[in-house]
Amino acid sequence: MKRSTWITLSVFIALLGLYFVQTRSPAPNAPAALSIDGYIGNFSEQEARSAAKDKPSPVTRIVLKRQGEVIQLDRQPQEPPPPDAKPDAPKPETKWTAQRTKNGKTTQSQALSFRAQSMSESLMRSIRSSFSLRVQPKALADYGLDAEHAMDVEITLPPRTVKLRVGHVDKPEQGEPSTWIQDPAHLDVVHQVAGRDLRTSFDVAWSDLRDKSLLSIDPAAVLRAELDIPTAPKAPRIVIERAVPAGSGGEAGSAWKISEPIGYSAGDIDEWLKSIGRVSASEFIDVTDAAAKKMDTGLDDTKTAARVTVVTDKGKTVLVFGKSDESRPAREVWLRIDGRDELFLVPTFSRDQIVQGIDQLRDRHLLAGHKAANALSFRIEPSGDAGRIKAARKGDAWSVIEPTMQASGKSLTDFLGELDAAKVEFAGDKTAAETGLDAPTWRMALELDGETWTIALGKEVEGSTFGRVSHGAVSGDIFKLASWNANRLKKKPADFEDKPAPPAPPAAP
């Protein structure tokens, strides 16, 4: 028989043997395949996602057990849509809570919803093993199913709970991944699930799973706030108290009073409280970690650490800000929240938004809560005699009486509105001589609330103009105002002139 004939016959016999192996009935003691029904069904991923588009996931709890830690995620009840919500309005995001237990210590947090959603979607499609094999315990490491590498996953979809032990994912350069898993009730058998990555969505570190937000502050529930800033030269202690019940209306700041130090009207305290509620962590540090105990956080230094206390009828929250970590590129700041067994690193800007001094929390409107629109008259006096303006109000109507001119009432009321809207930045470290306020270049005097209020503007430095407001015998603090905004106040008589409307364009022939 020719050599080529022998080769052909050998190939035929090999193929016949392969066919026999693949088609013969499994041996009686061969492990059974693993089959778990998905909550959508046995579909392709695209088909399952299309079918699940308008169906909420039935998963209510996910439990992960790995390397000495247990993480439990619980879905929260869906919030009802607002009464005025449109039928096609997007549904509110499902919220999840997270709880981690490790080394006998339990930590709770909000979970990142998209992480929990991704985990729950692992059971959207049915899981069918493509290959099953009985193995010895010492061989489990080959499949990533040994104690060091395996993850135990429990997914609750009432009334059932699915339990899996998830191992290694094979990811070829070309083609689809496959995952090695086990049924925890039969740990002598490993199953391969072809075409699925069943590990990546679960293999998430605790710090990446939890929501980075640290607090939930409802300004309407706050009764009192305290700031203790030892390094603040002007007001090391600030106490803010609610002046009127929440929801009573009024302008920003009217709901609050600064009771310490005295003599300051409150600014937009609600917005400041919102900044506390927005604080989020760049990193979470376990205080039991030996390395953490040696870190120079500055949190216990009573001469430099800043404390912020927020009080509601349910208790109080205390934040302590320490040093910035100069070893990190972003130089995040150490934060402790009393009562929690973790430390946090937060962005510097978060600390700066919360640890604010009296000049930032006080009313920063130009006239400190008084209204230029209520004035009876005003005078503008630039340096020199040129450009002087005097205006007076009769009833609700304003007119310019110096120089004699036909003035626009709207331009006058708009100008007073600009005065009321202007906000300043206080510069208490400056003197009148440094800022040119010992010889102002521009003044404005208003007859307001039975007193004469005087606005004086001095030098311009690096895009800001310094100024000061005085009334009666009280000389206000020096401030700076963006120069473009200051220049809007420096009106000339022509700015108030009643200009005739431009003629209408001729009609088309």
Residue 390 neighbours by CB distance under 10 Å? 14
Q: What is the pLDDT of residue 247?
A: 64
Q: E strands within 10-150?
A: 35-36, 61-66, 69-75, 96-102, 105-111, 127-128, 131-134
Count CB atoms within 10 A of the CB of residue 80.
8
- Sign of the Cα torsion 444, 449, 452, 457 reads negative
Residue partners of 19: CB distance under 8 A and separation at least 6: none
The whole-number pLDDT of residue 436 equals 92
485 CB contacts (<8 Å, ≥6 apart)? Answer: 422
State the Cα–Cα distance between residues 427 and 433, nearest whole angstrom.
Answer: 13
Report pTM: 0.75
405 vs 461: CA distance, rounded Å: 35
Nearby residues of 127 by Cβ (< 8 Å), 6 or more positions away: 34, 35, 36, 38, 181, 193, 196, 198
**pLDDT in tens for each of the 509 residues of the chain?**
444 444 344 434 444 444 444 444 445 567 899 999 999 988 888 888 888 887 788 999 999 999 889 999 999 988 777 677 677 666 778 899 999 998 888 888 899 999 999 999 999 999 999 999 999 999 999 999 999 999 999 999 999 999 999 999 999 888 899 999 999 999 999 999 999 999 999 999 998 999 999 998 899 999 999 999 999 988 999 999 998 877 666 555 578 999 999 989 999 999 999 999 999 999 888 777 655 667 889 999 999 999 999 999 999 999 999 999 888 888 999 999 998 888 999 999 999 999 999 999 999 999 887 899 999 999 999 877 678 999 999 888 899 999 988 889 999 999 999 999 999 999 878 899 999 999 999 999 999 988 999 999 999 999 999 999 998 878 889 999 999 999 999 999 999 998 876 666 776 66
Q: According to the model, what pLDDT value does residue 117 have?
A: 93
Please report the pLDDT score of residue 389 as a whole number: 93
| CB burial string 211-236: b at 16+ within 10 A, e below | bbebeebebeebeebbbbbeebeebe
- If phi > 0 it is left, if psi is from -120 to 50 it is alpha, else beta; for residue 77 that is beta
Q: What angle do CA 113, 118, 122 make, to 5 degrees?
A: 145
Output phi, psi for 418, to 5 deg.
-65, -40
**Residues 210, 98 contacting (CB under 8 angstroms):** yes
Residue with tokens 């959603």: 117
